[in-house]
A and B are shown apart, each in its own frame.
Chain A
Amino acid sequence: MSFSKPPKIAELIIRILTRPGNRSLLLGDLEEDYRYYTSEKGLIYAKLWYWMQIVIPFHNFIKNQIYWSYYMFKNYFKSAYRNLFRNKTYGTISILSLAITIGCAISLFSLVHIFYKFDKGHENRQRIFMVGTVIETNSVSEKWGIAPAPLAPAIKADLSNIEDVVRITYQDGKMQNDDRVFYENICFVDNGFLDMFTYPLVSGGKAVLSEKDAVIITENIALKYFGNEDPIGRQLTITFDNGSKASFFVKGIAENMSILKTFGFEILLNYDNLDRTGIDHVNDWSKKPRATFLMLKDPTGARDIEAQLSRYINQQNDSDPDWMAKEFFLGPFEEIIYASSNIRNSITGAIASEAFIIFSAIGLILLILACINYINVALASATRRIKEIGIRKVFGSKKNQLCIQFLSENLLVCLIALLFGIILAQTVFFPAFQYIGELNIEENIFTTIDLWYMFPGILLLTSILSGLYPALFISSYNPVAIFRDKKIRIGKNLFTKMLLGFQFVVTSILITVTIVLRLNAEYQSNLDWKYEPDNLIVLPVNGEEHYSIFKNEIGKNPDIVSVSGGSSHIGSISSSERIEYRGEKYQVRRFDVGSNYLETMGIKLKEGRFFNEERSTDIDRSVLVNEEFVKFMKWDDPFNEYFRIGSIEYSVIGVVNDFHHNNFMEKIRPMVFRLTEENNFKFLVVKTREGRMIDSFEYLRDAWKRLLPQDPYEAFYQSQLFDQYLRNEKNVSKLFGLYALVALVISSLGLFGLISINVLKKIREIGIRKVLGASTFNIVRLVNKGYLRIMLTSSIPAGILSFYLASSLMKIIHVYHLTVTVYHVFFTFVIILLTTLITISTLVRRAALTNPAETLRYE
């Protein structure tokens, strides 16, 4: 006769709820009974009976397990609560410093988290791969994020497992609706673009992209050209780079680009429209779109596809011998943004993960600083609770019970701090970071956080970091020692001193970095660009028609000192050029400029002469170079050397002084200047008389509107070209200023807590000393000499570390930067010293001025 087993779940419950000692015995008995009932009264009765064995005694279980533990914890929390409020300094300091840093850390982590959300909004991202090319020069392989234009249709036609291939190309053009005309960046894409990438449309369907005369624009562009009118079906005229003109109908409106997407579009046209620009993207393998992406049906087949791409290598290399490809590769879309530092020219750009590592690290360090406060204050104030601990132990509390008690007290503190911290993050820190960083993210800490685990994570981390050591330390006291010789020395041990020193070191590093960043921003905004950006107005133009009309007109204005132009412009556009010298190839920057350009820009000649239009050799055989170029080529006499660009041989007629073409993060590179015809001009440069720049700007605009009403006027001041860059530098220093401030506040709070407890401990001693005639100075020394000594000792490693870190940070970020000196570190030291002295003096003053009768009355 075979029996059924007792219900599994019921058995499991019993197993969980019983003590291990009698467990198997009990289970055995129950099973035997179960069988008995099965044979006597049937299976259903037996099962019911078995379940009842759990139900009947359950109230006892609740009473014993949950009810009593609840009371236990309630008691712990009650004593924690009382302790916090009895000693307000202790509670306030712990909670306040934790709350501030938690707020700061939450905001930092949220920001970092936002940046890890880049490009995660594309639904098909797991199946998308970027097609790139591996180029080998001098046996060094480099990955480039671009591929030949005809590769895309070829892949689509030849290979299987391909869902779609999409090319993306950007080109500038002039767009017009009646009197509204602006230069715009136009994006050309293949039909499947909107199916592959997720760019939500407000109106219109994805299918309109396949129509050649359709244009899809973003809401911003719609507003810019049509105001509040309905743009759908309206006509826009686009003049392409080569002068050809075409009309398009608005058939779709896209949502404005999210900053969480690394690339996007404002104006979207079908890829076939590129033939209007005179560029052959159908057969010419030397033409490279900005990016080529393919979407696979099955992403696991990527390696296979990658291998098959090698068949196209010859077609690429035959038509583009200057850019010899070794192989094509596929970059998984989700990864390229982080690996982009290794992929040159990737459309996604690269995310500087270092910045985010630094952000997260600062968040963590601030948390640690606050935890140190808790540890120090908890240890120092433990003397006040030493009798409580002794009594609890005598009454039978075990060490781990006391540990749990202290940890739950700490959990309460951390919980309160977390709540305040969340409020602070939402209302102060996150908006502050956004404001300082000039980030326009329509998110707050709650929407950015699908990191639901962050809050409990921070709670757990802080409570363990801050609570574990004090709990273990305090609970390990021997009650006999506590009651016998009431002098337990806590809060004076080496550990506390080291923690305090650590706080000083971290604070001083942050302050030094702030000072250095701030001064560097000042330094760079006053740094000489080595040319004269003042009183220069730059006007983007389109070729000779603009240039000559305009030049003649404005030549009459007496405010204007000189006019020139070029197809390159310092600070905006220059090309990377490969020159050939004695069979070797060198990479330099090339500027194509008008005859008077260098003089107008205020560039100084070092040797030789500037261009002279009258000389025919100047136009096609001669170049000027900068000093760096001469150094780079290791030339002794540049005027006797010849080199080639393409097939033409050039000689140097002049050497100009080095100047900064780009921002100060970049080293000055070797440059070569060629004379170019007015036909190719993209920029018109106007030098005005001192103080007449703003008036001239107005004058130029009026003249432009009169002469060239069909074309956009987009002039700018040369001196403002790097304003954004310089402002970013200032913003970074402000951001660090905020961290430094938080760190300084936290450290001061911690010191304040420690000393105030120390004063309380010694309040009677102070009283007696005063009665016996101690001076205020004596008492000040008595209370804080330990702390001042710690500060002075730690200032040595703090100074060295601050100096080292600040100067290496400068070296990493900038090429041309402020030199970090001992003065900067000394300045930090003064700030910390002052803060410390202020902190100490407020407390000591109180202690020293208290009437001894007050403190000794109860003895």
Chain B
Amino acid sequence: MKELTKTEEMILLTIHRLEGKAYGVALKHKISELTGKNIAYGTLYFILDQLTAKEYVSRYKGEPTPERGGRRKYYYRLTIEGIDALKESQQMHKLIWDGIKNLSMEKGTGK
């Protein structure tokens, strides 16, 4: 299983946070709310397409709404594989960060 990139991880976690209400606009806004970063729709959908292809997320149709000009929403949901991938990523973070408490110049740079 390949490792997730940071953006992928971010998007997967945001989908999880939104609890079934994850679609384009909501995801974009939630990400910018959480991180202060602005993510373009192009980037967002490119990654979502990739995640869908890896079967980490699944997509299902919502109802058409007037504020979208009568277009459907597409909601994203994590799959088992997606959750496994996130768990693994979390595990990896733990392993990497384990024992590091005070991040200062001396240790890391070898002085």
Contact = CB atoms under 8 A, between A and B. Distances in A.
Interface of A: 3, 5-6, 21-22, 24-33, 35-36, 53, 56-57
Given A22-B49, A25-B74, A32 B67 contact: yes
B73 interface: yes
B72 to A, nearest CB: 7
B25 A29 contact: yes
Given A6-B69, A28-B72, A29-B24, 9 more contacts: A3-B67, A22-B49, A25-B45, A26-B41, A29-B23, A29-B68, A31-B69, A31-B71, A35-B67
Interface residues of B, number: 16
A26 B67 contact: no
B40 A56 contact: yes
B42 interface: yes
B68 A57 contact: no
Which A-B residue pairs are the 10 nearest by beta carbons? A28-B71, A29-B24, A28-B68, A31-B69, A32-B25, A29-B25, A22-B45, A24-B71, A32-B68, A35-B67
Contacts of A25: 24, 45, 71-72, 74
A31 B68 contact: yes
B24 A28 contact: yes
Contacts of B71: 24-25, 27-28, 31
A756 B28 CA distance: 67
Contacts of A5: 69
**Chain B contact residues: over half helix, strand or loop, or mixed?**
helix
Q: Considering residues A25, A26, A53, A56, which has the most beta carbons from chain B within 10 angstroms of its beta carbon?
A: A25
Contact of B72 (A24, A26, A35, A53): A24
Contacts of B40: 56-57
Contacts of A36: 25
A31 B41 contact: no
A30 B24 CA distance: 9
22 contacts: A21-B49, A22-B45, A22-B49, A24-B72, A25-B24, A25-B71, A26-B24, A27-B69, A28-B72, A28-B73, A29-B23, A29-B28, A29-B41, A30-B41, A31-B69, A32-B25, A32-B67, A32-B68, A33-B28, A36-B25, A53-B41, A56-B40
B25 A57 contact: no
Interface in B38-87: 40-42, 45, 49, 67-69, 71-74
A35 B25 CA distance: 12
Nearest to B46: A22
B28 to A, nearest CB: 8
In this complex, which of B28, B45, B68 has the most chain A Cβ atoms within 10 angstroms of its Cβ? B68
Contacts of A27: 69, 71
B42 A57 contact: yes
A160 to B, nearest CB: 58
B42 to A, nearest CB: 6
The secondary-structure label for the interface of chain A is helix
A201 to B, nearest CB: 65
Nearest to B66: A3
Which of the listed residues A3, A22, A26, A29 has the most CB atoms from chain B within 10 Å of its own CB? Answer: A29
Given A33-B25, A56-B40, A57-B40, A28 B69 contact: yes
A20 to B, nearest CB: 13
Contacts of B49: 21-22
A6 B69 CA distance: 9
Contacts of B24: 25-26, 28-29, 32
Nearest to B59: A25
Contacts of B67: 3, 31-32, 35
Nearest to A36: B25
B25 A26 contact: no
A43 to B, nearest CB: 15
B43 to A, nearest CB: 9
A28 B74 CA distance: 10
B58 to A, nearest CB: 15
Contacts of A53: 41
Nearest to B69: A31
The interface centre, meaning the residue of B23, B71, B72 with most chain A CB atoms within 10 A of its CB, is B71
Contacts of B72: 24-25, 28
Contacts of A29: 23-25, 28, 41, 68
Nearest to A33: B25
B71 to A, nearest CB: 4
A788 to B, nearest CB: 62
A590 B63 CA distance: 96
Nearest to B71: A28
A22 B68 CA distance: 14
A414 B24 CA distance: 50
Contacts of A32: 24-25, 67-68
Interface string B5-48: 00000000000000000011100100000000000111001000
B29 to A, nearest CB: 8
A6 B67 CA distance: 11
A5 B69 CA distance: 8
A314 B24 CA distance: 87
A30 B23 CA distance: 12
Nearest to B70: A28
B70 to A, nearest CB: 9
B23 to A, nearest CB: 8
Contacts of A28: 24, 68-69, 71-73
Most central of B40, B42, B69 by chain A CB within 10 Å: B69
Nearest to B44: A29
A56 B25 CA distance: 18
Contacts of A56: 40
A57 B23 CA distance: 22
A26 B25 CA distance: 9
A410 B25 CA distance: 49
Contacts of A6: 69
Contacts of B73: 28
A35 B70 CA distance: 13
Nearest to A31: B69
Contacts of A24: 71-72
B8 to A, nearest CB: 17
Contacts of A30: 41
A32 B71 CA distance: 10
Contacts of B41: 26, 29-30, 53
B68 A26 contact: no
A553 B10 CA distance: 123
